[in-house]
Amino acid sequence: MAARVLVGVKRVIDYAVKIRVKPDNTGVVTDGVKHSMNPFCEIAVEEAVRLKEKKLVKEVVAVSCGPQQVQETIRTALAMGADRGIHVEVSGKDYDTLGPLQVSKILAALAKKEEASLVILGKQAIDDDCNQTGQMTAALLDWPQGTFASEVTIDGDKIKVIREIDGGLETIKINMPAVVTADLRLNTPRYATLPNIMKAKKKKIASVKPGELGVDLTSRLEVLRVEEPAQRQAGVKVETVEDLVGKLKEAGRI
Amino acid sequence: LLMPLRVVQKPAHRCIRALKAVQTEHVVPQVYTRRSSSAPVPRITSHYTICPRDKDPRWEGVEMERFADEADVVIVGGGPAGLSAAIRLKQLANQHEKELRVCVVEKASQIGAHTLSGACLEPSALNELIPDWKDRGAPLNTKVTEDRFAILTEKYRIPVPILPGLPMNNHGNYIVRLGHFVRWLGEQAEELGVELYPGYAASEVLFHEDGSVKGIATNDVGIAKDGSPKDIFERGMELHAKVTVFGEGCHGHLAKQLYKHFNLREGCEPQTYAIGLKEVGLDYTNPYLSPFREFQRWKHHPSVVPTLEGGSRIAYGARALNEGGFQSVPKLTFPGGALIGCSPGFMNVPKIKGTHTAMKSGMLAAEAIFSKLTDENLQSDTAGIHVPSYEESLKNSWVWKELRSVRNIRPSFHNYFGLYGGMVYTGIFYWILRGKEPWTLKHAGLDAAQLKPAKECTPIEYPKPDGKISFDLLSSVALSGTNHEHDQPPHLTLKDDSVPVAQNLAVYDGPEQRFCPAGVYEFVPLESGEGMRLQINAQNCVHCKTCDIKDPSQNINWVVPEGSGGPAYNGM
């Protein structure tokens, strides 16, 4: 029976909030803006907790990387059923440049340290849409990966994963230890109800620095500029097909 | 800048209509032309407060037990009043070395996310509550340097001098982003040991067998749009307290229940409201009026445009505020609970400020509750403790003096001369006599009863928004960041699903499609072709409460949606 599952959760700007670019074009406004757990991470936590309820895993550990505020996100995971949390302290400039490569190095180091047999992550974050962390983590650990999972079944020391791919669904069987990333249809996450939030206050969240894990946070990427998408130009209505062809020719399209 | 609505349109007509409105007593018109339609009324409301679950077969066998926890004081609402009360309670507890468990439940996902105001804060209550607020980093950074007051006509602006002593004088006050101030208050509260629970809405008041208030229950989650339980259904939790303090803000839905249950409004006038967009009085009579569009039109006034030109719209929100003042304050305490803040309503209307009085009311409630709870000889007739000393101390405080001195200013505008009469009255009786006249003028009655039938009014042609200074409604609503879990029963419940079309649309041309600042209510043609139905876009709701206030049939009952739904204001 698999002992420990590591679940990564990311604190992102809430999906319903209207994003605003900072006036200096270096990023988006985050101060005071409503944040919540990345929806795919919620699905990952839910899956981990369900595995625990089915007694297929013994312990669920929730991990998040960031400043003090990510502890709220870890608390939500604890309220959903995770047993304990790990807060990897990253703040300031390091947090601004924190990306999939750094996070996957951190998760790989933690997976080894915690002797996890399964790492479940959301398939991507809704702020950067990278879809890279799960894959990179698996590569760094040299573990098999089951990404875009819409169904996960543990069978002894193997996992059957049904993946959502462009052509339909693909079923694979991978050995444990492994990395799985959750897609939308994997499950419907439960609510973090108030009694569970109150109980979660008593669960432990350990703090650790990336340096203690031997991880170097330097980024190989530099953000040059962030801009709003170009304003949509008004369309033009035409009466006949001839008009349409004429207009396309005018615009040099045909 | 005060823009009295009446002056913009046909002043003479308006004044005479205002007089007539004052004459008609507050009676909801009984004209009920029931359209004999053979088509059944489409089902709109599925919320369990209207459709009980105990007889519903879909709920058979569902576990309805609730987890319960005990606190000393539970506060509903994490706004200026609620947080001030929480802070004061913990200050007293720490000072006297007593243990006190104080819990605050707040429907917004984070403290301050549902806070909306101008705001011009008078720091009087803050100076009393946290004297070293400056060192603690309170976000009060912009002191008022200049005040300007004017009457706007269609094209011109007549300045009116603000003499010192008039309530509109803002010397010593601060322009603040109230949402940020509330957030800061939340941080102060947490430091003192208050348990804050944002994202959890109090949806039910709990009662002991003796009728006193036992506490509250938070909302159930996981109910589908049609009212049936989903797989992830979970019951809310019960929070029991010796005293429950209700600080839900203007027109709170639990307060509405409590007024009825304990008959707290006996002997006071009905509350009247405005919607802050800012500010269009809700006692208007023309059902064709749309407060949102009036606001857009106001922005184009020649004296307003220069301030706004070149700017870009980055946020939007709306909220009702109370304008009844002194005459409309209900009884404030009942066995097991108390009302604080804008919920009972302590706004000083001519000053357009209610935050300082809301905070002070929270502080006074905390002091009264603390002395009662720590009294060793406490004997209570009821399980839930009654704290009438709160109401007494409020009536002896500066809040009451202040409200009393300005009590006649707003009602003085309800006279034949309208705006000018009101200004003359204010000049004489407030500025010179400081509100010491012995009489108390009355308000015109319930806002919902002021609307005249559509056929007696003319539709208003509003100009199209230009996209630079004025905007359309839906793009504005998107900027409020509002969102709700879509698969839940609409929280804008109707006592009778047939009334919107049969009465509101038939008699008043559906004013809800105009007064809602978020486009929640739409009358759309029935799929069968004949007639209309009301469509409720509950996800747009910004929790302003205008519909519950202004619905002429008083058929709409706003209840709380699943917690953390609603706007995501950032420092509004």
Q: Which residue shows structure tokens 């996310």?
A: B113
Record: contact B180-A36, CB cut-off 8 A: no
The pLDDT tens digits for B229-243 are 998 899 999 999 999
pLDDT at B496: 93
Predicted pLDDT at B280: 55
Collapsed DSSP state (helix, strand, coil) of residue B486: coil
Annotated active-site residue B434? The verdict is: no
Residue B35 a catalytic site member: no
Residue of B283, B298, B281, B280 lying closest to B462 (CA atoms): B298
* Alpha-carbon A213 to chain mean position: 21
Q: Which of B190, B194, B483 to mutate to test the interface with A (most CBs of A within 10 A)?
A: B483
- Closest partner CB to A191 (pick from B69, B234, B483): B234
Cβ contact (<8 Å) for B109 and A194? no
Which amino acid, B213?
V
pLDDT of the residue at B32: 33
Q: Is B544 a catalytic residue?
A: yes
Nearest to B570 among A15, A32, A194 (CB): A32
The yes-or-no answer on residue B103 being catalytic is: no
- Which residues lie below 8 Å from residue A50, measured CB to CB, with a gap of 6+? A187
C-beta atoms of B110 and A34 within 8 A? yes
pLDDT computed for residue B172 by the predictor: 83
Helix (H) or strand (E) holding A109: helix A100-113
Residue-wise pLDDT tens digits, A39-48:
999 999 999 9
Confidence of residue A214 (pLDDT cuts 50, 70, 90): very high
Distances (CA, A) of A156 to A54, A153, A174, B342: 13, 10, 11, 61
Instruction: Let me know if B342 is a catalytic residue.
Output: no
Task: Give chain A positions within 8 Å (CB) of B467.
Answer: none
What is residue B258's predicted lDDT score, i.e. its pLDDT?
94
Residues of B with Cβ-Cβ distance to A20 under 8 angstroms: 314
**B516 in catalytic set:** yes
Catalytic residue among B407, B516, B533, B553: B516
Q: What is the pLDDT of residue A233?
A: 81
Residue type, B530: E
Put simply, the chain B residues between 106 and 135 with a CB less than 8 A from any chain A CB are 109-110, 112-113
Sign of CA dihedral B284, B290, B293, B297: negative
Q: Chain B, 246-275: which have a CB under 8 Å from a chain A CB?
A: none
pLDDT the model gives residue B1: 31
How many cross-chain Cβ pairs, A to B, lie less than 8 Å apart? 56
Using an 8 Å CB-CB cutoff, list chain B residues near A31.
570
- Give per-residue pLDDT as tens, A57-84: 999 999 999 999 999 999 999 999 999 9
A→B contacts (Cβ < 8 Å), by residue, are 14-18, 20, 31-34, 36, 188-191, 193-195, 197-198
Catalytic pick among B541, B546, B553, B564 = B541
Mean of pLDDT values over A76-104: 95
- Token pair recorded at residue B17: 């209509």
Average pLDDT over residues A35-40: 95
End-to-end CA distance of chain A: 63
Give Cα A45 distance to the centre of its chain.
11
Nearest CA in chain B to A31: B570
How far is residue B441's CA from residue B448's CA, in Å, rounded to a whole number? 20
Report, as ranges of residue numbers, the positions in chain B whose pLDDT lies below 70.
1-39, 277-283, 415-418
Active site residue: B120, B470, B547, B553, which one?
B547
What ipTM goes with this model? 0.81
pLDDT 10s digits, A177-212: 999 999 999 999 999 889 999 999 899 999 999 999
Distance from CA of A18 to the nearest CA of B (A): 6
Q: What does the alpha-carbon distance between residue A201 and residue B359 come to, in Å, rounded to a whole number?
A: 29
Instruction: State residue A115's pLDDT score.
Output: 95
Instruction: From chain A, pick out residues whose CB is under 8 angstroms from the CB of B542.
Output: none
pLDDT at residue B25, as a whole number: 35
Whole-number pLDDT of residue B281: 56
Q: Does B93 touch chain A (CB under 8 A)?
A: no
User: Chain A closest CA to B271's CA: distance in Å?
Assistant: 33
Q: In the prediction, which pLDDT does B566 show?
A: 92
Q: Which one of the listed residues B544, B546, B553, B564 is annotated catalytic?
A: B544
Domains assigned to chain A: 4-251 (3.40.50.620)
- pLDDT on residue B352: 82
Q: Which residues of B touch A36 (CB under 8 A)?
A: 109
